[in-house]
Structure 1
Amino acid sequence: MYGSTTEDILTGLSIHNRGWKSIICTPDQPAFLGCTPTGGPASMTQQKRWATGLLEVLLSKNCPIFGTVFAHLQFRQCLAYLWIFTWGLRSIPETCYAALPAYSIITNTHIFPKGQELAYYIPIALFVTTNMYNISQYIESGLSIRAWWNNQKMGRITTMSAWLFGVFGIVLKLSGISETVFEVTKKDQSSSTEKGTEEEEAGRFTFDKSPMFVPPTTVLLLHLTALASALFGLQPPAHDGVGSGRLEVAGSVCLVLCLWPFLKGLFGSGKYGIPLSTIFKSAGLTLIWHWPP
Structure 2
Amino acid sequence: MRNIIETTTSLGRISEEIKKEHKGFLEWNSVSTRHDHQSILQMVIDGRDPKAVDSEGQPLPTLVYLSREKKPQYHHNFKAGAMNALIRVSSKISNGSIILNVDCDMYSNNSESVRDALCFFMDEEKGHEIAYVQFPQCYDNLTRNDLYGTCFRVINEVELAALDANGGPCYIGSGCFHRRETLCGMKYSKGCETEWKRENERKTREKASVLEESCKVLASCTYEENTQWGKEEMGLKYDCAVQDIITGFSIQCRGWKSMYFNPERQGFLGVAPTTLLQSLGQHKRWSEGQFQIFLSMYCPFIYGHKKIPLKLQFSYSPYFLWAPNCMATLYYVAVPSLSVVGGISLFPEIWSLWVLPFAYVIIAKYAYSLGEFLWFDGTIQGWWNDQRVWLFRRTTSYFFAFLDTILKLVGFAENTFVVTAKVSDEDVSRRYEQEVMEFGCPSPMFTIISTLAMLNLFSFVSCVKRVVVDIQIKALESLALQIILCGLLVLINLPVYQGLFFRKDKGAMPTSVTYESISLALLACSIVLY
TM-score (norm 1): 0.88
Distance 1:270 1:250, change over 3 A: same
Whichever residue aligns with residue 224 of structure 1, its letter is: L
Query: Matched residues in 1 for 2:404 and 2:423: separation?
Result: 27
Q: 3-state DSSP class of the match of 2:304?
A: helix
CA shift, 1:175, in A, is 2.0
Alignment correspondent of 2:351: 116
CA shift, 1:86, in A, is 0.3
More helix by share: 1
Alignment correspondent of 1:212: 445
| 1:107 and 2:342 are equivalent in the alignment | yes
CA shift, 1:152, in A, is 0.6
CA shift, 1:158, in A, is 0.8
| 1:6 and 2:239 are equivalent in the alignment | no
Query: Match for 1:24 among 241, 249, 260?
Result: 260
Alignment correspondent of 2:150: none
Query: Match for 2:434 among 201, 215, 233?
Result: 201
| 1:260 and 2:494 are equivalent in the alignment | yes
Asked if 1 retains the 8 angstrom alpha-carbon contact of 2:274 and 2:429, the reply is no
Whichever residue aligns with residue 344 of structure 2, its letter is: T
Runs (5+) with no aligned partner, structure 2: 1-229, 231-237
Distance 1:199 1:106, change over 3 A: closer
Q: 3-state DSSP class of the match of 1:117?
A: coil
CA shift, 1:153, in A, is 0.7
Asked if 1 retains the 8 angstrom alpha-carbon contact of 2:395 and 2:448, the reply is yes
Query: Matched residues in 2 for 1:196 and 1:172: separation?
Result: 36
Query: Matched residues in 2 for 1:111 and 1:28: separation?
Result: 48
Query: Matched residues in 2 for 1:7 and 1:46: separation?
Result: 14
Query: Match for 2:386 among 151, 155, 160?
Result: 151
Query: Match for 1:233 among 466, 472, 481?
Result: 466
Asked if 2 retains the 8 angstrom alpha-carbon contact of 1:224 and 1:256, the reply is yes
Distance 1:279 1:243, change over 3 A: farther
Query: Matched residues in 1 for 2:393 and 2:299: separation?
Result: 24
Alignment correspondent of 1:282: 517
Alignment correspondent of 2:401: 166
CA shift, 1:176, in A, is 1.4
Distance 1:186 1:261, change over 3 A: same
Query: Matched residues in 2 for 1:158 and 1:176: separation?
Result: 25
More strand by share: 2
Whichever residue aligns with residue 453 of structure 2, its letter is: L
Query: Match for 1:131 among 353, 357, 366?
Result: 366
Query: Match for 1:84 among 316, 319, 326?
Result: 319
CA shift, 1:242, in A, is 9.2
Distance 1:199 1:174, change over 3 A: closer
Distance 1:96 1:66, change over 3 A: same
| 1:224-252 per-position Cα deviation (integer Å, ceiling 9, x unaligned) | 1111112223999x9x9998422211110
Query: Matched residues in 1 for 2:325 and 2:313: separation?
Result: 18
Query: Match for 1:246 among 446, 456, 480?
Result: 480
| 1:185-208 per-position Cα deviation (integer Å, ceiling 9, x unaligned) | 112399xx9998366432423342
Asked if 2 retains the 8 angstrom alpha-carbon contact of 1:170 and 1:180, the reply is no
Distance 1:161 1:118, change over 3 A: same
CA shift, 1:104, in A, is 2.0
Alignment correspondent of 1:222: 455
Alignment correspondent of 1:140: 375
Asked if 2 retains the 8 angstrom alpha-carbon contact of 1:157 and 1:259, the reply is no
Q: 3-state DSSP class of the match of 2:270?
A: coil
CA shift, 1:217, in A, is 1.3
Identity %: 27
CA shift, 1:116, in A, is 3.0
| 1:65-103 per-position Cα deviation (integer Å, ceiling 9, x unaligned) | 12322x622211111111110001111121111112211
Asked if 2 retains the 8 angstrom alpha-carbon contact of 1:105 and 1:244, the reply is no
TM-score (norm 2): 0.50
Whichever residue aligns with residue 383 of structure 2, its letter is: W
Q: Which moved more, 1:199-208 or 1:75-84?
A: 199-208
Q: 3-state DSSP class of the match of 2:490?
A: helix
Q: CA RMSD in A?
A: 2.7
Distance 1:196 1:18, change over 3 A: closer
Tell me: higher relative CO, structure 1 or 2? Use CA pairs within 8 A at least 6 residues apart: 1
Q: 3-state DSSP class of the match of 1:232?
A: helix
Query: Matched residues in 2 for 1:160 and 1:139: separation?
Result: 26
Q: How many residue pairs were aligned? A: 288
CA shift, 1:7, in A, is 1.5
CA shift, 1:147, in A, is 1.9
Query: Matched residues in 1 for 2:415 and 2:287: separation?
Result: 11
Distance 1:229 1:215, change over 3 A: same
Q: Which moved more, 1:4-13 or 1:150-159?
A: 4-13
| 1:248-269 per-position Cα deviation (integer Å, ceiling 9, x unaligned) | 1111011112222212211223
Asked if 2 retains the 8 angstrom alpha-carbon contact of 1:161 and 1:215, the reply is yes
Q: 3-state DSSP class of the match of 1:208?
A: coil
CA shift, 1:183, in A, is 1.3
Whichever residue aligns with residue 457 of structure 2, its letter is: L
Distance 1:196 1:181, change over 3 A: closer
CA shift, 1:109, in A, is 1.3
Distance 1:23 1:200, change over 3 A: closer
Whichever residue aligns with residue 254 of structure 1, its letter is: L
Query: Match for 1:269 among 504, 510, 521?
Result: 504
Whichever residue aligns with residue 188 of structure 1, its letter is: V
Whichever residue aligns with residue 197 of structure 1, its letter is: R
Asked if 2 retains the 8 angstrom alpha-carbon contact of 1:106 and 1:229, the reply is yes
